[in-house]
Amino acid sequence: MKITGIDVWPVTMRLREPYTIAYETVKSTVNIFLRIKTDSTITGIGCAAPDLMVTGETPESALKTLNDTVEPILKGEDPLRYLKILEPLKTEIKNQPSVLACVDMSLYDIVGRYARLPLWKMLGGYRKCIKTSITIGIMPAVETIRKVKEYVAQGFTSLKLKGGQNVEEDIEKVKMVRGAVGKGIELRFDANQGYSVEDAVFFVKHTEGPQIELLEQPTPREQSDLLGHVTMRTPIPIMADESLMSLRDAFRLAKGDLVDMVNVKLMKVGGISVALMVNAVARAAGLEVMVGCMDEAALSIAAGLHFALARPNVAYADLDGFLGLEKDPTAGAVKLEMGVLYPGDLPGLGFDFKE
């Protein structure tokens, strides 16, 4: 089998409900879709979610790279030898992780279709489904309570609150949410780099009663050592998100014993192949792993889900980035039932576009 070319196209998707985090308000997203064509009937599909603030890419730069750099490299290659393609590609498109992730998942999709197996089984098949948290952006307390009650009524049992702009307001909001949902709901908190070490310690101390399950990326990503200071001074798990952009970052965080957990996002690290290596580093260091996402179409969420289902130490999922996207061309690539995610039924990533 040989690769004959690619199709690439952007899709703008508005969010039914815009949300706010510590450093921006998001109203829409642009995802780039990829189809890798071969000289057989098998094709592979993938998705990139470029984000200037997180991945350092724009939709325009992603499109240009896929058309000008990626396609010439892919043409004539055997897609079943995916690592032979991906390793040199990492050098050619350095610092463009969502583009690499897009190509990576497309190649894995081809391999799965060729083997007639869903990807999660090919990669290990540890579990068939996984619970996901759902995120509530920064909003007034009254609206926050309304949203959490709505999500709990839909069957979600794990909620992630965003904050980082005002630590005292964050503490009060956590207490109000816990009072509204009771003790049976997991609460996670993401400060999106908005805290100092002192803020983070103060936050944890004053939310002991409400029982926060974990605190995600409290301090700026450029200063990973600050995460270590928070970890040493707090009793709950501290998780790195923005501070984990590569395999090297994973090794540095593990070696320095800076965190208790890591959030692995395919769009940040460069796809499934790198995520598997990051996960291996985390497991060797005794770190728990959560698979996360950004504002991604269901196809991209499916890739993260297959990775999560395959590995036993990926114990947490935050794969809600497809919810609320209008006109997602890959809607149905994953199934959500009472807060639990299931993969599609087809081989590979479990989805194909309708002609």
- Catalytic (active-site) positions: 162, 190, 216, 241, 265
Centre a 10 Å sphere on the Cβ of residue 55 and count the other Cβ atoms it contains: 26
- Cβ atoms of residues 186 and 157 within 8 Å: yes
- Cβ atoms of residues 98 and 55 within 8 Å: yes
CA distance 238 to 260: 5
Tokens of 226: 């600050």
Tokens of 339: 């807060």
What is the 3-state secondary structure of the chain? CCEEEEEEEEEEEEEEEEEECCCCEEEEEEEEEEEEEECCCCCEEEEECCCCCCCCCCHHHHHHHHHHHHHHHHCCCCCCCHHHHHHHHHHHCCCCHHHHHHHHHHHHHHHHHHHCCEHHHHCCCCCCCEECCEEECCCCHHHHHHHHHHHHHCCCCEEEEECCCCHHHHHHHHHHHHHHHCCCCEEEEECCCCCCHHHHHHHHHCCCCCCCCEEECCCCCCCHHHHHHHHHHCCCCEEECCCCCCHHHHHHHHHCCCCCEEEEEHHHHCCHHHHHHHHHHHHHHCCEEEEECCCCCHHHHHHHHHHHHHCCCEEEECCCCCCCECCCCCCCCEEEECCEEEECCCCECCCCCCC
Close Cβ partners of 340 (under 8 Å, ≥ 6 residues apart) = 129, 130, 131, 132
